[in-house]
C-alpha cells in the first residue's frame, strides 16, 4: 500500500510538470507573478494583463502614448478603455485558486502552492539522533552522527485538473510538495539527505461568499492528503488524512483554517500510531503582506488535554532582494518539523532565498 502511494506521488508530480510546462498562469492582476513565466510572448501578455494595457484603445496599443495603470499592487481600480468603468483587482485567494468567474483560467496550468525556497543554513541545537516510535519496528537502535547545521529546500506546485465539477461550482486541484533536509556539511557520514517528505494531495475547491467578524469567507475545500518519507524500517514514516481548507481574507491578510482527520491504519503496520498527538489534528495559517514583504505564521495543535496537548509554531518572513529573488527566513518550535521528527520537540532556524511565497 505504501509503495503504491509513493508511486502515485511521483506520478502526480510528473503529470503536473508535463502539463504545466505547456502553460503557466500566475495571478492576472499581480505583476510579480509574471516574472516566473519562461516564454517571452506569454510573459509580455501577462505584463499587459497586469498593467491594464490589454484594455487600451487600439491606437495606443499600436504605438501611442502608454499610460501606466494605477493600483496594480493595491485595491485601486484599473481604468477600462478610457471611460469611467472600473474593475477591482482580484483578491489573494481568488487569484491563487480562481474562485470568481472572471479569474478562471482553465486546467493544467502550473502554479506555486506553498513556499518554494532554498535555505543553505537550517540549524537546531537539538538534532534528532535516534528517531523512535511506539511501533518497535520503527525505532533506531543506534544513535546517528548528525550535524546540528544542515540545509533545507522545498518545492511545491499545484494545478487544476477539472474546472466546474458540479456545473459552475467546484474545481478539482492536485498539489505536490517535497521538502528535503540535507546534511551537506557532514563529511563524516558522506553528506546524506537526512529526511525528505513527499506530500501529494487532491482538493475539491468551492468559492464562498459570506462575512464573519469583518473577514470575508472566500473558499471551502475538502480533500485527501498523503505524506510519507519513502524510507524502509526503522526510518519509515507516513500517514493519510482527510482535510478541509476554510479560507478568509481582508485587505493585506489571508487566514486558512485546516482541520484534518487521520485515516486509520492497522496498528501492526502503522509507522507512527501516535502522530496526531504530536503533529496535531489541525492548523491555522496566517499570511500578511506589507510593503512587498510577506509574513507567515502556522500554528498546529493536537486538541487534546494533559500530556497529549502538543503542537508547533512556524514563523516565516520573505522580502525582496532583486527582481524575482526574495530573502527567506524561518523559525520553527515544537513537534513535527518533519515526519521523522514527528515526536521530537526542537527549535529550528533557517535562512535562505525563495522564488514563490504562500498560495
Spell out the long-range contacts of 203-208 with Cβ–Cβ below 8 A and sequence spacing 24 or more.
Answer: 203/172, 203/173, 203/174, 203/175, 203/243, 203/245, 204/165, 204/170, 204/171, 204/172, 204/173, 205/97, 205/99, 205/170, 205/171, 205/172, 205/173, 205/245, 206/169, 206/170, 207/99, 207/100, 207/169
Residue 23 has pLDDT above 80, yes or no: no
* pLDDT per position as a tens digit, 156-185: 999 999 999 999 899 999 999 999 999 999
Domain boundaries, the chain: 31-89, 108-356
Q: If you average pLDDT over residues 246-252, what whole number do you get?
A: 95
Q: Where are the alpha helices (H) located in the chain, listed in sequence order?
A: 2-20, 40-51, 58-61, 92-97
Looking at per-residue confidence, does 252 or 173 come out higher? 173
Q: Tell me if residue 312 is catalytic.
A: no
Query: Terminal CA-to-CA distance of the chain, rounded, Å?
Result: 31
Please count the other Cβ atoms lying within 10 Å of the Cβ belonging to residue 208: 14
Confidence of residue 356 (pLDDT cuts 50, 70, 90): confident
Q: If you average pLDDT over residues 108-114, what whole number do you get?
A: 92
* pLDDT per position as a tens digit, 202-216: 999 999 999 999 999
* pLDDT per position as a tens digit, 264-295: 999 888 999 999 999 999 999 999 999 999 99
Given 9, 133, 179, 228, the catalytic residue: 228
What DSSP designation does 89 have?
Answer: P
> How far is 149 from 183, CA to CA, in rounded Å?
7
Locus of grid cell 492582476: 29
What DSSP designation does 18 have?
Answer: H
Given 103, 226, 236, 316, the catalytic residue: 226
- Whether domain 108-356 has CATH 2.40.230.10: yes
Q: What pLDDT score was predicted for residue 82? A: 42
Residues 6 or more apart from 276 whose CB is under 8 A from it? 262, 302
> How far is 199 from 175, CA to CA, in rounded Å?
8
Residue 353 has pLDDT above 60, yes or no: yes
Phi and psi torsions of 3, nearest 5°: -60, -40
Q: If you average pLDDT over residues 289-317, what whole number do you get?
A: 94
Q: What pLDDT score was predicted for residue 324? A: 86
Cis peptide before 234 (omega within 30 of 0): yes
Q: What pLDDT score was predicted for residue 58? A: 38
Q: If you average pLDDT over residues 332-355, what whole number do you get?
A: 97
Cα dihedral 106, 108, 114, 118, rounded to 10, equals: -130
263's grid cell: 485515516
* pLDDT per position as a tens digit, 50-103: 655 554 443 333 333 333 322 322 333 333 344 444 456 677 898 889 999 988
Looking at per-residue confidence, does 57 or 337 come out higher? 337
pTM recorded for the entire structure:
0.77
Average per-residue pLDDT for the chain: 83
Looking at per-residue confidence, does 91 or 116 come out higher? 116
The pLDDT > 70 percentage for the chain reads: 75
Q: Tell me if residue 228 is catalytic.
A: yes
Amino acid at each position: 500500500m505504501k509503495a503504491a502511494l509513493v508511486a502515485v506521488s511521483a506520478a502526480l508530480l510528473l503529470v503536473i510538470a508535463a502539463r504545466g510546462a505547456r502553460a503557466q498562469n500566475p495571478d492576472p492582476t499581480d505583476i510579480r507573478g509574471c516574472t516566473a513565466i519562461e516564454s517571452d510572448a506569454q510573459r509580455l501578455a501577462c505584463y499587459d494583463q497586469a498593467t491594464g494595457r490589454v484594455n487600451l484603445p487600439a491606437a495606443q496599443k499600436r504605438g501611442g502614448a502608454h499610460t501606466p495603470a494605477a493600483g496594480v499592487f493595491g485595491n485601486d481600480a484599473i481604468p477600462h478603455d478610457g471611460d469611467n468603468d472600473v474593475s477591482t483587482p482580484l483578491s489573494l485567494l481568488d487569484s491563487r485558486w480562481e474562485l470568481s468567474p472572471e479569474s478562471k483560467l482553465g486546467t493544467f496550468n502550473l502554479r506555486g502552492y506553498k513556499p518554494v525556497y532554498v535555505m543553505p543554513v537550517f540549524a537546531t541545537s537539538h538534532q534528532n539522533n535516534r528517531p523512535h516510535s511506539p511501533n518497535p519496528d520503527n525505532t533506531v537502535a543506534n544513535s546517528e552522527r548528525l550535524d546540528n547545521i544542515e540545509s533545507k529546500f522545498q518545492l511545491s506546485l499545484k494545478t487544476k485538473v477539472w474546472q466546474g465539477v458540479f456545473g459552475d461550482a467546484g474545481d478539482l486541484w492536485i498539489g505536490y510538495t517535497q521538502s528535503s533536509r540535507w546534511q551537506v556539511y557532514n563529511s563524516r557520514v558522506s553528506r546524506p539527505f537526512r529526511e525528505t517528505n513527499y506530500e501529494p494531495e487532491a482538493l475539491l475547491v468551492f468559492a464562498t461568499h459570506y462575512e464573519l467578524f469583518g473577514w470575508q469567507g472566500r473558499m471551502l475545500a475538502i480533500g485527501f492528503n498523503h505524506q510519507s518519507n519513502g524510507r524502509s524500517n526503522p526510518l519509515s514514516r507516513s500517514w493519510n488524512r482527510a482535510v478541509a481548507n476554510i479560507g478568509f481574507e481582508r485587505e493585506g491578510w489571508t487566514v486558512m483554517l485546516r482541520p484534518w482527520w487521520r485515516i486509520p491504519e492497522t496498528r501492526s503496520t502503522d509507522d507512527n500510531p501516535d502522530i496526531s498527538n504530536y503533529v496535531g489534528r489541525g492548523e491555522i495559517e496566517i499570511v500578511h503582506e506589507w510593503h512587498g514583504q510577506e509574513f507567515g505564521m502556522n500554528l498546529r495543535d493536537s486538541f487534546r488535554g494533559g500530556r497529549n496537548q502538543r503542537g508547533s509554531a512556524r514563523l516565516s518572513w520573505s522580502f525582496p532582494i532583486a527582481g524575482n529573488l526574495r530573502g527567506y527566513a524561518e523559525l520553527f518550535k515544537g513537534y513535527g518539523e518533519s515526519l521523522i521528527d514527528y515526536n521530537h520537540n526542537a527549535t529550528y532556524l533557517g535562512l535562505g532565498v525563495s522564488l514563490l511565497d504562500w498560495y
